[in-house]
Amino acid sequence: MPEVVKPQPTLELVAARAGVSRATVSRVVNGSPKVKAEVVKSVNAAIAEMNYVPNRAARSLANGRTNSIALVIPENTAKFFADPYFASVIQGAAMYLSQTEITLTLLIATESDPAKTSRYLRGGNVDGALILSHHSNDRSYTELAGSLPMVFGGRPMSREPGTVYLVDVDNIAAARTATRVILESGRTHIATIAGPQNMSAGLDRLRGWGEALAAAGLASDLLEYGDFTPQGGETAMKALLDRGEPIDGIFIASAQMAFGALKVLQARGISVPGDISIATVDNDSYAQNASPPLTTIDQPAERQGAVMAEVLVRLIAGESVPERTIIDTTLVKRGSH
């Protein structure tokens, strides 16, 4: 005999089973507070008994929401896949959202058409957006902040009128703490490899290094810039050494750059920490697998992603949230200082 296919449960069938109207079932499914508790209990029992799954598309039309948010990475694809920070933030956001009905859409913003992502966000495809790795020459996302709920991972470099919500670490304090670790080891000629100056993390970590040296009465002119990549660290380290000035300590603004700098020091026969003490930021695989392992500031990227998602969900729900949420960091001492 052919298999009998049971009809898919519908809103009408659930209503009949619960002994209420279709409109009442719809109100319960959409979380309306206007339904009596005993009716909600009866409807939910019918939903469970019949294994009814609400039509999300219909619900979205009813409440004006997509139940989807975007996580935007305004970087090229190569940098996205090479940087473990992004993966950790995504993991944190995804884990938080797994407890909700909201889905996460990842958007790696294209370099050839940066407005493409903005058009997508403006088009009603998502209820809000998380923005990572924001650069000063890109105003498209801060301009959107007034019309779409948005949360930035790190302080946006461009500011438009209106409220901007961000989740970040105190990068100035992180750099200050890392530089003090080097100072405490007795070093007095302390350089830095700073990050990009079109990003708030690059600016703030440079400032923290300078403040720590100023407090110790030391000069802050041993400076080169990198791009938060191992290759950038190699290039900057070579430039510092080629100056021919004494260096016995160096604060490097990211573990990836520190990893690259170590390769140059090893190639030139300079020992770490014997000749040069190093401290950095990011407790990722680069910091942990370097030789020697790097003393660093652990900024919990997974936690940052979870908090960003939480703040955005609350914004979408119309709740009041603080404009700035600062995540605690931790000093991790290893063998490089």
Q: Measured between alpha carbons, how far is 300 from 282 in angstroms, rounded to an integer?
A: 8
Between the alpha carbon of residue 183 and those of residues 176, 212, 255, 261, 283, the distances in Å are 10, 9, 19, 19, 20
pLDDT for the residue 2: 46
In this structure, what are the phi and psi dihedrals at residue 132, rounded to the nearest 5 degrees? -115, 155
Q: Measured between alpha carbons, how far is 233 from 299 in angstroms, rounded to an integer?
A: 20
In this structure, what are the phi and psi dihedrals at residue 282, rounded to the nearest 5 degrees? 100, 120
CATH number for the domain formed by residue range(s) 171-298? 3.40.50.2300
* Identical topology for domains 11-63 and 171-298: no
Between the alpha carbon of residue 192 and those of residues 33, 39, 276, 278, 337, the distances in Å are 58, 66, 12, 10, 14
pLDDT for the residue 154: 86
Q: Which residues contact 210 (CB under 8 A, 6 or more apart)?
A: 220
CA angle 189, 190, 195 (to 5 degrees): 150
pLDDT for the residue 5: 45
What is the block-wise mean pLDDT of the chain (337 residues), using blocks of 10 residues? 56 88 83 81 87 60 75 80 87 93 84 71 88 67 79 79 84 97 96 93 96 95 95 97 96 97 96 97 95 96 95 92 94 94
- Domain 11-63: CATH architecture, name and number where available: Orthogonal Bundle (1.10)
pLDDT for the residue 62: 55
pLDDT for the residue 139: 65
Provide the residue ranges of all domains of the chain, joining segments of one domain with +. Answer: 11-63, 68-169+301-329, 171-298
pLDDT for the residue 208: 97
3-class state of residue 70 by DSSP: strand
Cis peptide before 273 (omega within 30 of 0): yes
Task: Answer for the pair 273, 301: CB distance below 8 angstroms, yes or no.
Answer: no
pLDDT for the residue 112: 52
Options 3.40.50.2300, 2.40.50.90, 3.40.350.10, 3.40.109.10; CATH of 68-169+301-329: 3.40.50.2300
pLDDT for the residue 114: 62
3-class state of residue 314 by DSSP: helix
pLDDT for the residue 96: 94
pLDDT for the residue 26: 81
